[in-house]
């Protein structure tokens, strides 16, 4: 090791202790606590990871269902993780609403949060607000590796930086020569910390926007994007992780093999890949689901939480659609060969359908109320009279 090498090691260790001296655990402790799952071949671990910020949207149910089907197809595990790091946006009963929404439609949770302060599984806690120590431990290890540093820039300072970037017509963000705190000396960092100045922890990005990353999205196909070169925030000034950092740590420790989520996250994949690599984690497989659309006046738009009552899953419960019908209809949107399969197997259980994630359409499915009603009619028509009576009674009671 060169003299500089020794010095850097010492510097990283000192900085890690200065920032997170209270953290006594190391990543190896968590690796031991959450060992690799012993899965049979082809078994997949998937997760639905909503934030409890509103009612369960039909798009959320759709994504959760695809996750569940993927896990079920190979005898894997479907887990529910609650991403509640943004306390300001959280709503009362948000978690119970999500769980109820999933259960109402028969999307059973194999592992994770299953009720108020109730969890099942060996990879928890499954609620991010209870995982603070874990994130801080991995954050500390990144500082030890020289891959993260504290940033003391104020909101005003960042605003100023952004307007300068605008004037210079360059990409906005904290990177390269704009990243003021990237090259502070240990003495400067120590003085700022001792003076009680708030700081966020940033990734020391090794990416270059002129290089490209390529990944195979199971639904969308091959995607190529510039590498992430931003020194993104890992921990906010209150020590709470950003979504990006928590995603990497959680999906690694929980053993997620397939990250199936809404396609609004595609743009963040370069950040996520950079984080998985920085932390030394294996990158999971990604599958990005398109939003559910609504046809209106000859054009298509996303189903909207504000405008469309059918965007909330509770709408279907209230209007008496059996959960089986909603699932049956969603299956027709999920795999286009479902209807043919159903015609050939009118009596088969939905779970017997050979679901294939790769067969999902890369573009957004249109939600068609008439079609749902029609599918529902078929589902009800093969129920026994007793079943119809029981379900109607239960619905009327509620
Ligand atoms: N909490 C994120 C959301 O609600 C989850 C994204 C993900 O599944 O990775 O959109």
394 pLDDT band (50/70/90 cuts)? very high
Helix axis angle, 186-194 to 3-20, nearest 10° = 10
CATH number of the domain encompassing residue 236: 3.40.50.620
Q: Are residues 323 and 232 in the same domain?
A: no
Q: Model pTM?
A: 0.94
The rounded Å distance from CA 20 to ligand 1 centre is: 27
CA 12 to centroid of ligand 1, rounded, Å:
32
pLDDT at 40 over 90: yes
> What is the 51 CA–ligand 1 centroid distance (Å)?
7
Average pLDDT over residues 330-353: 93
Pairing of strands 77-80, 285-289: unpaired
User: Is pLDDT at 142 greater than 70 in this prediction?
Assistant: yes
Between CA 85 and CA 97 the distance in angstroms is: 17
Question: Which pLDDT belongs to residue 319?
Answer: 94
Regarding whether 351 and 252 lie in a shared domain, the answer is: no
Task: Read off the pLDDT of each residue in 100-120 and give the average, rounded to a whole number.
Answer: 94
To 10 degrees, what angle do helices 132-144 and 269-279 make? 70
Question: 10 Å Cβ neighbour count for 271?
Answer: 23
* Same domain, yes or no: 190 and 280: yes
Tens of pLDDT along 161-180? 999 999 999 999 999 999 99
Q: Is 250 in the pocket of ligand 1 (CB under 6 A)?
A: no
Residue 254 CB–ligand 1 contact under 6 Å = no
Q: Is the CB of 49 within 6 Å of ligand 1? A: yes
Ligand 1 atom showing the smallest separation from residue 60 Cα: 4
User: Is the confidence at residue 125, as pLDDT, over 50?
Assistant: yes
Does residue 197 contact residue 191 with C-beta atoms inside 8 Å? Answer: no
- Tell me the two tokens of residue 273: 């890949």
**Beta strands of 152-199 (E only): which ranges?**
none
Q: What is the distance between the alpha carbons of residues 16 and 20, in angstroms, rounded to a whole number? A: 6
**Cα 80 to ligand 1 centre (Å):** 11
For 215, the token pair is 């990944």
- Our answer on whether the CB atom of 111 is closer than 6 Å to any ligand 1 atom is no
The number of the ligand 1 atom at minimal distance from the alpha carbon of 47 is 8
* DSSP designation for 258: E
**In angstroms, what CA-CA distances link 37 with 76, 80, 250, 252, 308?**
10, 17, 14, 11, 41
| pLDDT exceeds cutoff 90 at 46 | yes
Residue 113, CB-side half-sphere exposure with 13 Å CA sphere: 28
Specify the pLDDT at position 8. 67
- Ligand 1 atom nearest the C-alpha of 251 is 9
| Same structural domain, 154 and 240 | yes
Using the predicted structure, report yes or no on whether residue 4 has a pLDDT greater than 60.
Answer: no
Residue 374 sits in the same domain as residue 312: yes
Annotate 352-389 with b (16+ C-beta within 10 A) or e (fewer): ebebebeebeeebbebbeeebeebbeebbeeeeeeeee
Taking the centre of ligand 1 as the mean of its atom positions, its distance from the CA of residue 11, in whole angstroms, is 36
Q: How far apart are CA 95 and CA 97, in angstroms?
A: 5
Same structural domain for residues 252 and 164? yes
- Do 164 and 25 lie in one domain? The reply is yes
Q: What is the mean pLDDT of the chain?
A: 94
* Local confidence band at 297 (pLDDT 50, 70, 90 cut-offs): confident
pLDDT band at 3 (very low <50, low <70, confident <90, very high): low
In-domain check, residue 68: no
Ligand 1 within 6 A of CB of 51: yes
In a domain, 137, yes or no: yes
More confident residue, 193 or 85: 193
Predicted local distance difference test score (pLDDT) of residue 15? 97
The reply to whether 257 and 311 lie within a common domain is: no
How much is the average pLDDT of 86-97?
83
Q: Is residue 4 part of a domain?
A: no
Instruction: List residues with catalytic annotation.
Output: 305
- Residue-level pLDDT at 9: 64
Is residue 166 one of the residues assigned to a domain? yes
> Ligand 1: which of 68, 244, 265, 283 to mutate, most ligand atoms within 8 Å of CB?
265
Q: Let me know whether 153 and 20 are in one domain.
A: yes
Q: Residue 159's beta-bridge partner residues?
A: none
Domain annotation covers residue 178:
yes
Q: Show which of 231, 258, 288 is a domain's final residue.
A: 288
Number of separate helices (H) and strands (E) present in the chain: 14, 13
Q: Are residues 251 and 166 in the same domain?
A: yes
Ligand 1: residue whose CA is nearest its atom 3 = 50
Instruction: Please check whether residue 125 lies inside any domain of the structure.
Output: no
How far is Cα 218 from Cα 220, in angstroms, rounded to an integer?
6
Taking residues 51-61, report their average pLDDT. 91
Contact 254, 34 (CB under 8 A): yes
Q: Give me the mean pLDDT over the 276-298 stretch.
A: 95
Same domain, 255 and 363: no
Q: Which of 288, 315, 336 is the last residue of a domain?
A: 288
The answer as to whether 24 is a domain residue is yes
| pLDDT reported for residue 53 | 87
Task: Say whether 284 sits in a helix, a strand or coil.
Answer: coil
pLDDT given at position 6: 57
Q: In terms of domains, do 165 and 231 share one?
A: yes
Would you place residue 1 in the very low, low, confident or very high pLDDT band (cuts 50, 70, 90)? very low
pLDDT (average), residues 168-196: 97
**Does residue 104 lie within any of the structural domains?**
no
Q: What percent of the chain has pLDDT over 90?
A: 90
For the cut 90, the answer to whether the pLDDT of residue 218 exceeds it is yes
Compute the half-sphere exposure of residue 167: CA atoms within 13 Å on the CB side of its CA: 6
Between 259 and 296, the more confident residue is 259
For residues 355-363, average pLDDT? 93
Number of structural domains the chain divides into: 2
Is the CB–ligand 1 distance for residue 44 below 6 Å? no
For position 336, which CATH number holds?
1.10.1160.10
Task: Check residue 117 and give its pLDDT.
Answer: 86
Percent of the chain exceeding pLDDT 70 equals 98
In 77-176, the DSSP E strands lie at 77-80, 111-115, 118-120, 148-151
What Å distances lie between residue 340 and 33, 309, 329, CA to CA? Answer: 46, 30, 13
Q: Is beta strand 299-302 parallel, antiparallel or unpaired with respect to 293-296?
A: antiparallel
Mean pLDDT in residue range 365-380: 94
Which domain range does residue 157 map to?
A: 10-29+131-288
pLDDT of residue 94: 85
Does 60 have pLDDT greater than 80? yes
The last residue of one of the domains, among 267, 288, 309, is 288
């Amino acid at each position: 090791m060169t003299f500089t090498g020794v010095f850097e090691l010492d510097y990283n260790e000192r900085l890690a202790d200065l920032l997170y001296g209270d953290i006594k655990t190391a990543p190896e402790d968590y690796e031991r606590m959450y060992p690799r799952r012993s899965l049979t071949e082809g078994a997949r671990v998937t997760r639905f990871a909503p934030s409890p910020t509103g009612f369960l949207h039909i798009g959320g149910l759709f994504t959760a269902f695809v996750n569940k089907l993927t896990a079920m197809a190979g005898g894997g595990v479907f887990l529910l993780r609650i991403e509640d790091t943004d306390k300001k946006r959280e709503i009362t009963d948000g978690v119970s609403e999500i769980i109820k929404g999933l259960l109402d439609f028969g999307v059973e949770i194999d592992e994770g949060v299953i009720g108020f302060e109730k969890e099942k599984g060996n990879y928890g806690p499954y609620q991010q607000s209870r995982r603070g120590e874990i994130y801080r431990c991995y954050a500390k290890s990144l500082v030890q590796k020289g891959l993260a540093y504290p940033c003391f820039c104020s909101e005003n300072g960042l605003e100023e930086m952004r307007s300068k970037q605008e004037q210079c017509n360059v990409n906005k963000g904290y990177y390269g020569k704009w990243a003021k705190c990237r090259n502070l000396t240990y003495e400067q960092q120590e003085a700022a910390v001792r003076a009680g100045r708030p700081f966020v922890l940033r990734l020391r990005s090794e990416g270059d926007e002129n290089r490209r990353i390529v990944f195979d999205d199971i639904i969308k196909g091959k995607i190529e994007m510039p590498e992430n070169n931003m020194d993104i925030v890992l921990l906010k000034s209150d020590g709470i992780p950003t979504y990006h950092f928590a995603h990497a740590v959680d999906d690694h420790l929980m053993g997620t093999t397939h990250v199936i989520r809404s396609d609004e996250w595609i743009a963040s994949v370069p950040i996520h890949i950079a984080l998985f690599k920085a932390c030394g984690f294996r990158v999971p497989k990604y599958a990005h689901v398109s939003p559910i659309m609504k046809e209106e006046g000859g054009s298509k738009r996303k189903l909207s939480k504000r405008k469309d009552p059918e965007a909330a899953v509770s709408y279907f419960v209230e209007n008496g659609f059996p959960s089986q019908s909603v699932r049956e209809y969603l299956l027709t949107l999920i795999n286009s060969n479902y209807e043919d399969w159903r015609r050939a197997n009118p009596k088969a259980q939905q779970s017997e359908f050979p679901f294939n994630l790769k067969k999902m359409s890369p573009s957004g499915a249109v939600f068609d109320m008439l079609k749902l009603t029609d599918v529902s009619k078929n589902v009800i028509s093969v129920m026994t009279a007793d079943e119809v009576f029981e379900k109607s009674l239960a619905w009327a009671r509620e």
